[in-house]
């Protein structure tokens, strides 16, 4: 052997390096995965229960807090006389639920709540909401009941007159300023997450699946 | 199947016939039109979002390009298919969408003014016809000190 005196030292160094390597590998290649965080949505780690409320679905049935049981729900507030933001968002939500189902998950319940119950009758909601997706639910009802929900969720709603009169003599010519956020409610009727604008289909789907613990 | 073939001689006589029909002023006028074409206001990509049955408010979107050397002012829009139409703008302020009517909109020389979902749109109020995807609806844009411009807007399912 060329270096008999040094060989035990080399062997010891090699053993230490090997042990060090194994320890480092165990740290680096951990089998425990860190749970992902939503990228764009706000995730309420302590879910907030919704207040008791009672509205009417577009099929004329009572819809209250208990109606939210059994499935995840995405709530969106708008009105049928809104020609721009509301149809755009409902179209996006149609693609969102399509993508969630395409990825092998259950279709969430989508609830479109009218912030204009004075003009949005049950009949109007019945004609409007299913156009975007036959599974979507439209809600309307008394303004006081609506406000119970909007106050708790922090949905800003204000009514502004439109400047010019409409030719058909419609008396109530106003528009409604409203929050465009989407509210994610769990099957126990608790607010879990908020998706702010702009609403991008892929981002909503990714964050929805993270918050709901699906893949 | 019918095949039409024109020999060079018959083409020549065809041209002659066309020019004689256009008359003495036709050709110079045609040249003038060709020269002034870039100096114009153009409307493109006009579409209307198909709305659910019974919807009384719809939105139209388009692009106006001012190729003139002076500012133009859009003062309104009308359509025989709707009771009223207005220029509207949606703004987002702290997560709240606000829609307001705009009386007039100045478009600078060389400016491309887009009307897109979530921004500017033409609000079409109380339809007199069924607004169904695949059909077209005529919109007339009104300008200050400028002739009206007519555009065919395609009705589409919103994206």
What is the C-alpha separation between A121 and A128, in angstroms, rounded? Answer: 11
Residue B14 in this model has a pLDDT that exceeds 60? no
CA A15 to chain centre: 54
CATH number at residue B138: 2.60.40.1890
Chain A positions touching B90 (Cβ under 8 A) are: 84-85
In a domain, A84, yes or no: yes
Identify whether residues A8 and A51 lie together within a single domain.
Answer: no
Mean pLDDT, residues A48-56: 96
Mean pLDDT, residues A47-58: 96
Identify whether residues A4 and A67 lie together within a single domain.
Answer: no
Identify whether residues B23 and B62 lie together within a single domain.
Answer: no
Confidence band for B41, pLDDT divided at 50, 70 and 90: very high
Confidence band for A168, pLDDT divided at 50, 70 and 90: very low
| ∠ CA A144-A150-A152, rounded to 5° | 105
Residue A8 in this model has a pLDDT that exceeds 90? no
Residue B11 in this model has a pLDDT that exceeds 50? no
Confidence band for A27, pLDDT divided at 50, 70 and 90: low
In a domain, A24, yes or no: yes
Identify whether residues B33 and B45 lie together within a single domain.
Answer: no
Provide the pLDDT for residue B158: 78
Identify whether residues A86 and A51 lie together within a single domain.
Answer: yes
| Complex-level ipTM | 0.74
High-pLDDT (> 90) share of chain A, %: 73
Identify whether residues A190 and A118 lie together within a single domain.
Answer: yes
CATH number at residue A181: 3.40.30.10
Identify whether residues A56 and A126 lie together within a single domain.
Answer: yes
Residue of A40, A77, A84, A115 to mutate for B, most B C-beta atoms under 10 A: A84
Closest by CA to A57, choosing from A114, A10, A12, A3, is A114
What is the C-alpha separation between A177 and A156, in angstroms, rounded? Answer: 8
Identify whether residues A87 and A179 lie together within a single domain.
Answer: yes
Mean pLDDT, residues A19-48: 75
**Cβ contact (<8 Å) for A197 and B99?**
no
Mean pLDDT, residues A39-59: 95
Provide the pLDDT for residue B5: 43
Chain B positions touching A84 (Cβ under 8 A) are: 59, 88, 90, 99, 117-118, 121
Give the domain extent around A2: 1-32
What is the C-alpha separation between A150 and A58, in angstroms, rounded? Answer: 19
Chain B positions touching A87 (Cβ under 8 A) are: 49, 51-52, 59, 158
Give the domain extent around B30: 9-37
């Amino acid at each position: 052997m060329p270096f008999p005196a040094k060989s035990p030292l080399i062997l010891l160094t090699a053993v230490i390096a090997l042990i060090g390597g194994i320890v480092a590998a165990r740290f680096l290649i951990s089998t425990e995965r860190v749970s992902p965080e939503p990228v764009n949505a706000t995730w309420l780690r302590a879910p907030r229960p919704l207040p008791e409320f009672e509205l009417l679905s577009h099929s004329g049935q009572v819809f209250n807090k208990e109606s939210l049981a059994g499935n995840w729900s995405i709530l969106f507030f708008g009105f049928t006389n809104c020609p721009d933001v509301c149809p755009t968002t409902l179209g996006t939500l149609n693609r969102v639920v399509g993508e969630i189902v395409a990825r092998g998950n259950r279709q969430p319940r989508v609830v479109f709540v009218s912030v204009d119950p004075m003009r949005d009758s049950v009949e109007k909601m019945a004609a409007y909401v299913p156009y975007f997706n036959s599974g979507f639910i439209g809600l309307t009802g008394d303004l006081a009941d609506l406000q119970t929900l909007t106050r708790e969720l922090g949905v800003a709603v204000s009514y502004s007159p439109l400047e010019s009169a409409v030719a058909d003599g419609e008396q109530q010519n106003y528009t409604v300023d409203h929050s465009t956020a989407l509210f994610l409610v769990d099957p126990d009727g608790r607010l879990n997450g908020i998706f702010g604008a702009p609403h991008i289909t892929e981002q909503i789907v990714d964050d929805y699946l993270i918050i709901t613990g699906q893949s | 199947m019918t095949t039409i073939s024109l020999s060079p001689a018959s083409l020549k006589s065809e041209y002659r016939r066309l020019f004689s029909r256009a008359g003495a002023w036709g050709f110079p006028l045609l040249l003038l039109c060709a020269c002034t074409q870039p100096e114009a206001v153009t409307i493109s990509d006009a579409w209307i979002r198909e709305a659910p049955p019974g919807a009384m408010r719809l939105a139209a979107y388009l692009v106006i390009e001012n190729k003139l050397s002076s500012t133009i002012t859009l003062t309104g829009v009308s359509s025989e298919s709707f009771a009223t139409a207005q220029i509207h703008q949606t703004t987002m302020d702290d997560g709240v969408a606000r829609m307001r009517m705009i009386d007039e909109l100045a478009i600078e020389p060389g400016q491309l003014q887009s009307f897109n979902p979530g921004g500017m749109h033409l609000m079409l109020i109380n339809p007199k016809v069924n607004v169904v995807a695949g059909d077209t609806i005529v919109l007339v844009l009104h300008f200050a000190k400028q002739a009206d411009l007519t555009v065919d807007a395609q009705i589409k399912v919103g994206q």
